[in-house]
């Protein structure tokens, strides 16, 4: 199975691909919601895992606490601080591409399938 992540803008695609493929993208943490979940790694998780950190609050209090951090990272486009729920599929991410390229690839693959059914008239 191959999963490609859609990105709006990638300044250094090689660096992003290396980061994704290294396995550093995901973390199992309860620091966002109070429930253990897969999320993308961010400094918020590092701080909550440190020895000086207090215990994670019970849901929904932890989510209420983390919501300002999450919203601030989005409002100010601080990609270095952003996090997102990742789900099980995050482990299957193999590369990152712009949305335009993903759609182009899907159309090309669909045309290849149609050619296989109808025969290639080229």
Give per-residue pLDDT as tens, 94-104: 777 888 999 99
The confidence score (pLDDT) of residue 97 equals 83
Give per-residue pLDDT as tens, 59-107: 999 999 999 999 999 999 898 888 888 777 766 777 778 889 999 999 9
**Residue closest to 56 by CA, chosen among 70, 36, 72:** 36
Tell me, letter by letter, the H, E, C secondary structure of the chain: CCEEEEECCCCCHHHHHHHHHCCCCEEEECCCCCCCEEEECCHHHHHHHCCCCCCCCCCCHHHHHHHHHHHHHHHCCCCCCCCCECCHHHHHEEEEEEHHHHHHHHHHHHHHHHHHHHCCCC
Confidence of residue 7 (pLDDT cuts 50, 70, 90): very low
> Which is higher by pLDDT, 3 or 92?
92
Give per-residue pLDDT as tens, 21-54: 555 677 889 999 999 998 888 899 999 999 999 9
Is the pTM here over 0.95, yes or no? Answer: no
The confidence score (pLDDT) of residue 41 equals 86
């Amino acid at each position: 199975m191959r999963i490609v992540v859609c990105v709006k803008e990638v300044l250094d695609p090689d660096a992003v691909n290396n980061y994704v493929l290294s396995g550093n993208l995901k973390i199992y943490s309860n620091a966002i919601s109070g429930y253990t979940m897969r999320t993308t790694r961010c400094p918020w998780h590092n701080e909550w895992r440190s020895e000086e950190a207090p215990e994670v609050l019970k849901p929904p209090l932890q989510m209420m606490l983390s919501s300002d951090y999450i919203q601030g990272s989005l409002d100010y486009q601080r990609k270095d601080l952003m996090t997102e729920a990742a789900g099980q599929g995050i482990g299957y991410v193999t590369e990152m591409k712009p949305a335009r390229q993903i759609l182009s690839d899907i159309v090309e693959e669909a045309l290849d399938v149609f050619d296989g059914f109808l025969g290639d008239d080229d």
